A and B are shown apart, each in its own frame.
Chain A
Amino acid sequence: MLIACPAVALARPADDAEHTHIHTITAITLLAVAQSITILVLGWNIVRRRRSERARLASEATIGSLFRAAPAGLGMTVDRKLKRVNQHMCDMLEYHRDHLVGENARMLYPTQEDYDYVGTEKYRQIEAHGVGTVETRWLKRDGQVIDVLLSSCPVDSDDLSKGVTFAALDITLRKQAEHALKESEQRFRELVDHLEEVFWIADAETGKTLYASPSLERKWGIPLEKVKSGCMWHQVVHPDDVQHVREARKRLRQGEQMDIEFRIMQPDDTVRWVQDRGFPIVEDGKVTRTAGLVSDITDRKESEAAIGSLARFPAEDPNPVLRLEPTGEVLYTNDAARRLLAEHAVTENIVPKNWLKALREALATQKNQHMDVNSGAHTFTLVFAPIADAAHVNVYGMDVTERRQAEVRQRLIMRELDHRVKNNLAAVQSLAERSIRRADSLADFRESFMGRLQAMARTHEALAQTRWDGVDLHDAVHLVLGPYIQAGSKRLELQGDRLRLPARAALPIGLALHELATNAVKYGSLSCADGRVCLSWETMDDCNIELTWREVGGPPITHPTHSGTGTALIEGLIGYELQGAVELAYPTSGVTCKMTIPLSRFAERGSVSDTVTNQDSCNKDVTS
């Protein structure tokens, strides 16, 4: 052992394997004799060493082969100086091996920063995990920068100075692809983020929503989570539209395009109209997914509804509305106009001949022209309105039936009033004549005439209050007797239901009561403080009334007190003018006057308007 040691020591400095072998043999030869056991041991050692040498050589060869064949840049650095590089590495960077080996790896980096980063990060990882992998950038010989995935591992993890092997992959294309994808995704996100519409993708088989763009929540407040569980519209579609949507989406999954409009309910129950345009995504002849774009069309729907409603405007007009060609040809009619044409026109397409004058006049003057036409019981004024800059005329009908009737009625009323005024003047004239003839003095005339004139005026006052539509008997009595008996005084007792006197009968009755009252004041119950008058009335069959004047508490009556003008007047007014009967009696207790009046004969002529509207019934009387 001691002798062998120098041989071994001698052999040791040799690097070359063959030399080592020769020295070893020499040593064995020299020492063989000396120690056989030593030889054996040494021999054993040599065999073992040779074996490991061979294995090492085989491994070197394998690694060298790998080194050459690997589709990646491989190499080794010591102190960040390139010691070995494979051909792929050279090809990758378009350098010759000679340009690289021995050079500092700094030459591979476009910037010091890149170089420093790799030095720091990679060696940090190596220290921590034994291996370091970083993405960095290398410079090709022509100055082009490539992306590189760089992995390094020290030859001896305990001694980095022995060198570090590395493998480098050109990932430029992958990086570009990644970048392109990232950009594309970015663009997509920017697009959908700003999209007013909602973009969605769904699984064709399950119908589940795979994606819905954020505007779903932004626009309608529908949370994305809510639609993820199933069909996007699940629980969102208006109940009335569910069936419609379901069927359309079914057809979409079968490969048809979809374009539907329906309503959705926002979480706050607001109803919105949407349009969903979907298309199938076909892969290998099979619809795998469906996608679509949903727009809010509420505003459009509302304006459509508004326009639709406006368009119906003339159609809904109860008055005739038409649009005419200058020839009289009908361009548009609403229902009312069609009815009118059906009555007047020969055909539905041309207006009646007598309309043409107004039509031509409207076109010629460019001013509205009017004409009246009758339709059934209605009268319409047609306004022919020429439309400027258009060769047609709009015709608007106005139902003037009531206005025309009112005009007629107004004329009749005026005439009737005129008639009544004149009749009254004639009556006044007559009263004046009578009073003049019978008066002993001017004072006498004044007393009799003015009293009667007052009675007439007061009855008219009562009539005017009801616009000549009859007069309440109570009111008439109070008005006429007002000058003689104070309203509410116990001296006048009225008995009878409310009764409306026809206007025609009011005046004679008013005058008759006046005559009775003046007589009572002069000679009867109203001539003393305790006397009273009872006026009672009763409606008999046929609406005739019995009106009874009874004086109570006056001075005893001995003889008829007013056989003169008063009596004649009462009998004339009631008997002649009202076709009634008068029974005047003069018992000692007080005057009584029973007047039976056939009011029904005058009822129809009661008021001015009755007189007009009951013209027919008056005429019937003529023939009877």
Chain B
Amino acid sequence: MIAPACEHAPLAGMRILVVEDNYLVALSLQQHLEDLGCTVVGPVPSLAEGMASVDAGDLDGAILDINIIGGTSAPIAHKLRDRQCPFFFITGYTSPRLLPDELTDCRRLMKPIDEDLLERTIRQELTVVDE
């Protein structure tokens, strides 16, 4: 079972994959995550690199931009879900239409990203506690 983690769960050392095709946004995410003590895997801008990073394994979580080079990040999300690796989306789209139905209930963070909200979302979505 996956349950929401407490607010003060340590994030340091978490390996988080960042898939974001906009260089500046990716850089910003990386900076924020590193400020939180996380280890950023990537960031990578494309579907192909994103898939490869998941395959490479050893991820504690992932932050996925929906629209990336090569398509949408849905296949990456599916792969992460198969591996029970937590993730959430960041997007400029208000509507979830670009995502397949089974992914529409996933958490989406709107750009531009608020630092505090990012941290909260990471804590809620990416930290897992085995009950």
- Residue from B25, B67, B110 with most neighbouring chain A CB atoms (10 Å): B25
- For chain B, residues 18 to 33, give those with C-beta under 8 angstroms from any C-beta of chain A: 21-28, 31
Contact status A415-B95, CB under 8 Å: yes
| Segment at the interface with A among B3-11, B56-64, B68-76 | B68-76
* Complex Cα spacing A431 to B28, Å: 8
A596-621: CB near B (< 8 Å → 1, else 0) gives 00000100000000000000001101
Q: Is B127 an interface residue (CB 8 A)?
A: no
**A621 and B24 contact, Cβ closer than 8 Å, known pairs A415-B95, A422-B111, A423-B111:** no
In the complex, chain A residues whose CB is within 8 Å of the CB of B70: 621-622, 624
Decide if A177 is an interface residue (CB 8 Å cutoff): no
Q: CB of B53 within 8 A of chain A?
A: no
CA distance A508 to B22 in the complex (A): 9
Residues of B within 8 A of A91 (CB): none
Q: A7-54: which residues lie under 8 A (CB-CB) from chain B?
A: none
Given that A427-B22, A430-B24 are contacting pairs, would A419 and B67 also be in contact in the complex, using a CB cutoff of 8 Å? yes
- Check A63 for interface membership: any CB of B closer than 8 A: no
The docked-state distance in angstroms from the alpha carbon of A9 to that of B82 is 183
Name B31's closest neighbour in chain A (CB-CB). A433
Asked if residues B94 and A426 are in contact (CB atoms below 8 Å), the reply is: no
Query: Is there an interface contact between A421 and B24, defined as CB atoms closer than 8 Å?
Result: no
A572 at the interface (CB under 8 A from B): yes
Residues of chain B with a CB closer than 8 A to A434's CB = 24, 27-28, 31
- Cβ–Cβ contact B93 & A415, under 8 A: yes
Is B45 a contact of A579 with CB atoms below 8 Å?
Answer: yes
Q: Is B17 an interface residue (CB 8 A)?
A: no
Q: Report the minimal beta-carbon distance from A260 to chain B, rounded to whole angstroms.
A: 71
Known: A430-B24, A576-B23, A622-B75. A420 touches B92 (CB 8 A): yes
Provided the pairs A601-B69, A618-B71, A621-B71 are in contact, do residues A426 and B93 lie with their beta carbons within 8 angstroms? no
Question: Is A317 on the interface with B (CB-CB < 8 A)?
Answer: no
| Residue A256 CB within 8 A of the other chain | no
Contact present for A572 and B74 (CB under 8 Å): no
CA distance A619 to B97 in the complex (A): 13
A429 part of interface (Cβ distance < 8 Å): yes
Q: A415-B93, A418-B93, A622-B47 are in contact. Are A426 and B22 (CB under 8 A)?
A: yes
Task: Check A426 against B69 for contact (C-beta < 8 Å).
Answer: no
Determine whether the beta carbon of A423 is less than 8 Å from that of B92. Answer: yes
Contact, CB under 8 Å: B71 / A418: no
Contacts of B28 in A (CB 8 A): 426, 429-430, 433-434
| A residues in contact with B74, CB < 8 Å | 622
Q: How far apart sit A434 and B67, CA to CA, in the bound complex (Å)?
A: 24
Tell yes or no: B106 within 8 A of A by CB. no
**Contact mask B34-72 → A, CB, 8 Å, 1/0?**
000000000101110000000000000000000101111
Bound form: Cα–Cα A508–B71 in Å: 19
Is B94 touching A418 in the complex (CB atoms < 8 A)?
Answer: yes
**Nearest A-chain residue to B93, judged by Cβ:** A419
Tell me, in angstroms, the Cα distance from A538 to B99 when the chains sit together.
Answer: 38
**Chain B residue nearest to A574 in the complex (CB):** B23
What separation, in Å, do the CA atoms of A622 and B66 have in the docked complex? Answer: 12
Kindly state whether residue A479 has any CB partner on chain B within 8 Å.
no
List residues of B (62-108) whose CB comes within 8 Å of A's CBs.
67, 69-72, 74-75, 91-95, 97
A577 within 8 A of B: yes
**Which residues in B have their C-beta under 8 angstroms from that of A421?**
92
CB < 8 Å neighbour of A419 from B26, B91, B112: B91
Contact partners of A572 in chain B: CB under 8 A = 23-24, 27
**A426 and B71 contacting across the interface, CB-CB below 8 Å:** no
The answer to whether A577 and B21 have CB atoms under 8 Å apart is yes
Q: A429 touching B22 by the CB < 8 A rule? A: no
Interface residues of A in 298-352 (CB under 8 A from B): none
* CB of A143, distance to nearest CB on chain B (Å): 119
Task: Decide if B117 is an interface residue (CB 8 Å cutoff).
Answer: no
A425 within 8 A of B: yes
Check A619–B71 contact: CB distance below 8 A.
yes
* Chain A residues whose CB sits within 8 angstroms of the CB of B129 once the complex forms: none
- Bound state CA distance, A429 and B29, in angstroms? 11
Q: In the complex, what's the smallest C-beta–C-beta distance from A129 to chain B, in angstroms?
A: 125
Closest residue of chain A to B97, judged by CB?
A415
- Judged by a CB distance under 8 angstroms, whether B113 is at the interface is yes
Instruction: Identify which of B72, B91, B110 contacts A622 (C-beta below 8 A).
Output: B72
**A429 pairs with B94, CB closer than 8 A:** no
Cβ-defined contact, A430 with B25, below 8 A: yes
Q: Does A274 contact B (CB under 8 A)?
A: no
Which of B25, B67, B97 meets A426, CB within 8 Å? B25
CB of A476 closer than 8 Å to a CB of B: no
A148 located at the interface, meaning its Cβ lies under 8 Å from any Cβ of chain B in the complex: no
Q: Which residues of B contact A426 (CB under 8 A)?
A: 22, 24-25, 28, 92, 111-113
Chain A residues whose CB sits within 8 angstroms of the CB of B27 once the complex forms: 430, 434, 572
Asked if B23 and A573 make an inter-chain contact with CB atoms under 8 angstroms apart, the answer reads yes
What residue in chain A is nearest B46 (Cβ atoms)?
A: A579
The chain A residue sitting closest to B45, CB to CB, is: A576
Docked Cα-Cα span, A427 to B46, in Å, equals 18
Q: Which residues of B contact A621 (CB under 8 A)?
A: 47, 70-71
Q: Is the CB of B71 within 8 A of A427?
A: no
A622 to B100, CA, bound (A): 12
Smallest CB gap from B28: residue in A: A430
Contacting B at CB under 8 A, from A223-260, are none
B23 in contact with A577 (CB, 8 Å): yes
* Complex Cα gap A167–B129 (Å): 157
Q: How far is the CA of A624 from the CA of B69 in the complex (A)?
A: 12
* Residues in A whose Cβ lies below 8 Å from that of B47: 621-622
Complex contact A425–B111 (CB within 8 A): yes
Are B110 and A422 in contact, CB atoms less than 8 angstroms apart?
yes
In the complex, what distance in Å separates the CA atom of A433 from the CA atom of B113? 12
Q: How far is the CB of B1 from chain A (nearest CB, A)?
A: 31
B70 (CB) vs chain A CBs: closest residue: A621
The residue of chain A having its C-beta at the shortest distance from the C-beta of B114 within the complex is A429
CA–CA, A425 and B31, complex, Å = 17
Task: For the A-B complex with A430-B24, A579-B45 known, give 17 more contacts whose Cβ atoms are closer than 8 Å.
Answer: A415-B95, A419-B93, A420-B92, A423-B25, A425-B112, A426-B25, A426-B111, A429-B28, A431-B24, A434-B27, A572-B27, A576-B26, A576-B43, A577-B21, A577-B22, A618-B72, A621-B71
B interface residues with partner A (beta carbon < 8 Å): 21-28, 31, 43, 45-47, 67, 69-72, 74-75, 91-95, 97, 110-113
Question: Sorted from nearest, which 10 A-B pairs have the closest CB atoms?
Answer: A622-B71, A422-B92, A430-B28, A430-B24, A419-B92, A426-B111, A426-B112, A577-B23, A572-B23, A427-B24
- Pull 28 A–B residue pairs with CB atoms less than 8 Å apart, ordered by A: A415-B95, A418-B94, A419-B67, A421-B92, A422-B111, A422-B112, A423-B22, A425-B111, A426-B24, A426-B28, A426-B92, A426-B112, A426-B113, A427-B22, A427-B24, A429-B28, A429-B112, A430-B25, A430-B27, A431-B24, A434-B24, A434-B31, A576-B43, A577-B21, A579-B45, A621-B47, A622-B47, A622-B75
